[in-house]
A and B are shown apart, each in its own frame.
Chain A
Amino acid sequence: MDAIPYAVTPRPDTGLNNGKMGVWLFLASEVMLFGALFSSYILMRIGADHWHRGELNIPLATVNTMALITSSVTVVMAWASLLEKNFQKFRMFLGFTILLAFVFLGIKYVEYSDKFAHNHVPSTDNFFGIYFVLTGLHGLHVIGGIIVMAWLWARSGDLWKTEPQRLVNRIEGAGLYWHFVDLVWIFLFPVLYLL
């Protein structure tokens, strides 16, 4: 018997396996976490006499937005590949997703380096304080996603042979998390870079 019931098959009352329900509850808490920071942003923005506009690198952030959007497609394609029972295609798409996550972090590193070089640090003012907190927390989520997806990429072979449905569920859960990371960036991009 599994340590966690309904890990693979749906639980009768929710109609969902417990892993998927757990991921959604986790994402609900994440909405509140980022929501609190967005709320802080609004408070600081409406109370500020001066706010930086156009000081962040819009072209780089646009490329990063495209990278995350593309990675959302590749992770859902990885899941769809498993439904088609094409394991090699699944690994290719999941590999692309991890690669795009690294591209995102690389560009963020370039952006941060540029800001630090100009002595723009979190303590500079409220704008850079909230910019580094929001993008830093988001970056930590990207790193978390990379760890989970890299683990799944490396360890999925055995699971696919023995318990394929469990692997499908895990990729679905990881994918939901990754889409959420993309969704947060979709709002961070205009709020921090364009407005």
Chain B
Amino acid sequence: MTDAHAHAEGHDSHDVKKHVKIYMMVFAALAVLTVVTVAVSYLHLPMPAAVVLALLIASVKGTLVACYFMHLIGERKAIYATLALTFVFFIVLMFMPLWGRTDQVHTGSMKPAHTEAPAPAHGH
């Protein structure tokens, strides 16, 4: 083994085998959750419940990918700081349509205004 390869190893093979086992478990969880997401969509739940459930499952799947495949569990502080800032602005982005809607409700421009027909002119 060359010095370069010794440096590249960094992890012992036992460590890697342990990681591979975790990757397979995460893969199985992701596959099951995908099937569950599709199955739930065929239940035709009321829209609010369907949205909450679908996004909840997607969030669990996303967390698994980020934590285990992207190794966010046990990452450096510099990455956490970057992602914390990103998360804050992401949430702001997601709520923007809501603020926009609230604003429109107050100004009465959300829907086309149902104006009453002008009163007929009273001619003499």
Where the two chains meet, the residues of A that have a C-beta atom closer than 8 Å to any C-beta of B are 13-16, 21, 24-25, 28, 31-32, 35-36, 38-40, 42-43, 46-47, 58, 62, 65-66, 69-70, 72-73, 76-77, 80, 82-85, 162-165, 167-168, 175-176, 179-180, 182-183, 186-187, 189-191, 193-195
Contact = CB atoms under 8 A, between A and B. Distances in A.
A24 B31 contact: no
A15 B62 contact: no
Contacts, number: 141
A24 B79 contact: yes
Contacts of A168: 8, 10
B58 to A, nearest CB: 5
Contacts of A28: 82-83, 85-86
**Chain A's interface: helix, strand, loop or mixed, by majority?**
helix
B37 A35 contact: no
Interface in B98-118: 98, 100-101, 110
A156 to B, nearest CB: 12
B97 A187 contact: no
Nearest to B53: A190
Contact of A84 (B13, B96, B100): B13
B41 A69 contact: no
Contacts of A39: 93-94, 96-97
Nearest to A194: B41
Interface residues of B, number: 53
Contacts of A82: 8
Given A164-B4, A195-B50, A69 B101 contact: no
Given A14-B76, A76-B23, 6 more contacts: A14-B78, A42-B98, A80-B23, A85-B9, A164-B4, A164-B8
B5 interface: yes
Given A15-B78, A195-B54, A163 B93 contact: no
Contacts of A84: 13, 16
B73 interface: no
Contacts of A193: 41
Contacts of B8: 82-83, 85, 164-165, 167-168
B27 A69 contact: yes
A76 B30 CA distance: 15
Interface in B26-55: 26-27, 30-31, 34, 37-38, 41, 47, 50-51, 54-55
Contacts of B30: 69, 72
A101 to B, nearest CB: 16
A65 B34 contact: yes
Interface centre among A167, A180, A186 (most CB of B within 10 A): A186
Given A46-B101, A69-B31, A62 B90 contact: no
Interface centre among A77, A168, A183, A187 (most CB of B within 10 A): A183
